Amino acid sequence: MISKAVWEERSTRDQPGPSVRVAQTLIHLQSRSKESEALIDSYGRIARKLRISVTDACNFRCSFCMPKHPIWLPKKEILSFEEITRLATIFASLGVDTIRVSGGEPLVRNGVEELVEMLRGIHGVSAVSMTTNGFFLEEKARALKEAGLNVVTVSLHTLKKEKFENITGSSAYERVLRGITAAREVGLRLKINCVVIRGFNDDEVVDFASLACKTGITVRFIEYMPFDGMKLWNPEKVFSGREIIKRISESYELEPVSREPGSTSTLFGFRNDQGKIGLITSITAPFCGDCDRVRLKADGNLVPCLFSSNEYYLRPLLRRGSSDEQIADFIKRCFWNKDAGVERKLGKLLSIKHVRPMHSIGG
């Protein structure tokens, strides 16, 4: 069991104070040959991870992600694989070393495994992962593995077929499960993401924990965030990480796993078992203090902070002939203005409002 005291101590420990963040920044800077190479914001946070949305389109219609009648980006506004790779190379020159490919649904974009191979070939990039709804994973798993994909995360928000169809608007439940099996068989590291919504699927958190315990798959529970397509989000629907742990602890004995700086999830292991569960507590215990992520939308817009509406246009620079150095300088100036994050808004008791639909920016 995880006691309240342990949870509170862990939550406090996982949120670095200003002095800790400054120390971490100095350590990161000292590890570089030049301070000017770091992609750093005004709070001392350094970008290490790049999230790339390759399309805003998706073949599912999950209400907490997608509008009821989405309007997709025109094809001419979406970055080509070559443009994405060029930008990723620039980000890598600024210290980014891991990349996550997302959507919309990334596997609806033809030949995305070719992009994975291109990204894996970038000097300085140590890992490429992907978040997918799993619909095409059965047929694409081997190609993705051969292209160099390291980790695949499947978004799966229920283990009940009927509820799956209600959530996604698709009858592909078994197909997604086959995709998960295929990913495991080809040797891809596998994670499952589950957005937990009070009164909707919070009754399944123990079932998901059982899946993690029995299979060794890491299941990450994500608090409901204000990125739903239909703007239905409100704080009352948030089923907190604390509540998730309390419910699972009634059936399983959990052990905390130390959180790596910059990680989005707090991990717990099962005593004497291989599986793990993770908590992404973006609302009740945000981790903005050591956030090391930056996002690139499918249309080339740079998004330094998920919870901020600020976006910066990179596509015009690419298509009007700007040099890599000019683009890198622009990226650094934009990232310097990264928002403090939702943590500060909560601290000031500011209301959290809908920002953008999740399908437009990826996980």
Question: For the chain, what are the domain ranges?
Answer: 4-360
State residue 151's pLDDT score: 97
Fold (topology level) of 4-360: TIM Barrel (3.20.20)
Residue that has been written with the tokens 């081997």 in this structure = 142
CA distance 125 to 118: 11
Strand order across the beta sheet in which 189-196 lies: 254-257, 266-270, 276-280, 218-223, 189-196, 151-155, 127-132, 98-102, 49-53, 293-296, 301-303, 312-313
**What is the maximum alpha-carbon separation in the chain?**
59
95: left (phi over 0), alpha (psi -120 to 50) or beta: left
State residue 353's pLDDT score: 60
State residue 342's pLDDT score: 77
CA distance 292 to 74: 30
Beta bridge partners of 189: 151
CA distance 72 to 109: 13
H or E stretch at 206: helix 205-215
State residue 357's pLDDT score: 60
State residue 22's pLDDT score: 44
For residue 77, what are the contacts with CB-CB under 8 A and spacing of at least 6? 299, 300, 315
Q: Which residues of the chain have pLDDT under 70?
A: 1-36, 227-231, 343-360, 362-363
Q: How far is CA 149 from CA 98, 224, 340, in A?
A: 11, 28, 31
CA distance 148 to 180: 18
CA distance 217 to 66: 27
Torsion of CA 78, 80, 81, 85, to 10 degrees: -90
State residue 354's pLDDT score: 52
Structure tokens, 5: 């005291």
193-202 pLDDT, tens digit per residue, is 999 999 999 9
